[in-house]
Structure 1
Amino acid sequence: MRGALSWPFMRLYILTLLYFSANSILNVIIPLKGESLGATNTTIGIIMGAYLFTTMFFRPWAGKMIQKHGPIRVLRTILIINGFALILYTFTGLEGYFVARMLQGVCTAFFSMALQLGIIDALPEKDRSQGISMYSLCASMPGIIGPLLALGIWQAGNMNAFTVAMIAIAILTGVVGYSAKMDKQAAEPVSGQTGQGAKMSESFGQLVKNPHLFKCSVLMLVASLVFGAVTTFIPLYAAQIEGGNAAIYLMLQAGAVVVARFVLRKKIPSDGKWHSSFVMAIMLMLAVAALCVSFSVMGGAVFFYAGAGLMGIAQALLYPTLTTYLTFVLPQLNRNVLIGLFIATADLGVSLGGVIMGPVADIFTYSVMYMICAILGVSMIIFSYERRKIFVGSR
Structure 2
Amino acid sequence: MKKDQPELWTRNFISVSATNFFLFMTFYFLLVTLPIYVVENLGGEKSEAGLMTTVFLLSAILIRPFAGRWIEKHGGRKVLLFSLFVFLTATILYFFVSSITALMAVRFLHGIGFGIATTCTGAIVADIIPDSRRGEGMGYFILSSTLAMVIGPYVGLTAMQEWGVNAMLDFAAGSAVACVLAGNSIRVKKKQIQEQKERVQNPFNLKNLFEASAVPIAVTGSLFALAYSAILSFVSVYAGELGLGGISSYFFVVYAVVLLLSRPFTGKCYDLYGQNVIVYPAIVLFAIGMLLLGITDSAFLFLAAAACAGLGWGTLFPTYQTIAIQSAPPKRKAMATATFLSIFDIGIGLGSYIVGLAASLFSFRQLYLFGSAYILLGGTLIYYLLAGRKFHHIRKNEQEAVL
**TM class by smaller structure:** 0.7 to 0.9
Could you say if the C-alpha distance between residues 116 and 137 of structure 1 is closer, same or farther in structure 2, counting changes exceeding 3 Å?
Answer: same
Cα displacement (A) at 1:117: 3.0
> Cα distance, 1:328 vs. partner?
3.4
Q: What is the rounded CA distance, in whole Å, between the counterparts of 2:191 and 2:24 in structure 1? A: 23
1:4 Cα shift? 5.0
Q: For residues 112-151 of structure 1, what are the structure 2 equivalents within 5 Å?
A: 112-124=118-130, 127-151=133-157
Residue 45 of structure 1 deviates from its aligned partner by: 0.6
Alpha-carbon distance between aligned partners in 1 of 2:73 and 2:316, rounded to the nearest angstrom: 29
Q: Deviations over 1:241-278 (max 9, x none)?
A: 365632121222233334444x458537579x962222
Paired residue total? 385
1:105 to 1:111, Cα distance in 2 relative to 1, 3 A? same
1:23 paired to 2:27: yes
Q: Distance in 1 between matches of 2:332 and 2:139?
A: 23
Matched, 1:110 2:112: no
Q: When the two structures are superposed, what TM-score results if normalisation uses the length of structure 1?
A: 0.85
Is structure 2 residue 199 aligned with structure 1 residue 194? yes
Q: Report the CA distance shift for 1:161/1:98 in structure 2 as closer, same or farther (over 3 A).
A: same
Please say which of residues 325-334 and 369-378 is displaced more in the overlay: 325-334
- Aligned 8 A contact 1:268 1:317 in 2: no
**CA deviation vs aligned residue, 1:154-189 (integer Å, no higher than 9, x gap):** 33454442343233223221111100235x477989
Tell me: CA distance 1:279–1:357, structure 2 relative to 1, closer, same or farther (3 Å): same
Aligned-residue identity in percent:
21
Displacement after TM superposition at 1:196 (Å) = 5.3
Question: Which whole-Å CA distance do the structure 1 matches of 2:67 and 2:270 have between them?
Answer: 26
Structure 2: segments with no counterpart, 5+ residues: 398-403
1: CA distance, partners of 2:313 / 2:229: 11
Q: Is 1:125–1:270's contact at 8 Å kept on the other side of the alignment? A: no
Instruction: Choose the corresponding residue for 1:56, options 57, 61, 64.
Output: 61
Structure 2-normalised TM-score? 0.83
Match of 1:306 among 280, 304, 307: 304
1:20 aligned partner, one-letter code: F
Report deviation, 1:216: 1.3
Equivalent-residue separation in structure 2 for 1:64 and 1:336 (angstroms): 13
Match of 1:65 in 2: 70
Q: Distance in 1 between matches of 2:356 and 2:31?
A: 15
CA 1:105–1:315: 2 relative to 1, 3 Å: farther
Larger of the two Rg values belongs to structure? 2
Query: Hey, what's the Cα distance between the residues in 2 that align with 1:110 and 1:221?
Result: 20
What is the letter of the counterpart of residue 22 of structure 1? T
Secondary structure in 2 matching 1:194: helix
> Alignment partner for residue 177 of structure 1, among 160, 174, 183?
183
Return closer, same or farther for 1:226/1:177 CA change in 2, 3 Å cut-off. same
Could you tell me which of 338, 351, 354 is aligned with 1:353? 351
1:167 aligns with 2:168: no
Q: 1:35 aligns with which of 32, 36, 39?
A: 39
Measure, in 2, the Cα distance between the counterparts of 1:332 and 1:192: 19
Per the alignment, do residues 203 and 84 of structure 1 end up closer, same or farther by CA in structure 2, a change over 3 Å counting?
same
Q: Over the residues paired in the alignment, what is the CA RMSD in angstroms?
A: 3.1
Amino acid at match of 1:111: A
Aligned partner letter, 2:78? R
Distance 1:218 1:92, change over 3 A: same
**In structure 1, how many angstroms separate the alpha carbons of the residues matched to 2:383 and 2:148?**
31
2:259 alignment partner in structure 1? 257
C-alpha distance in structure 1 between counterparts of 2:192 and 2:262, whole Å: 30
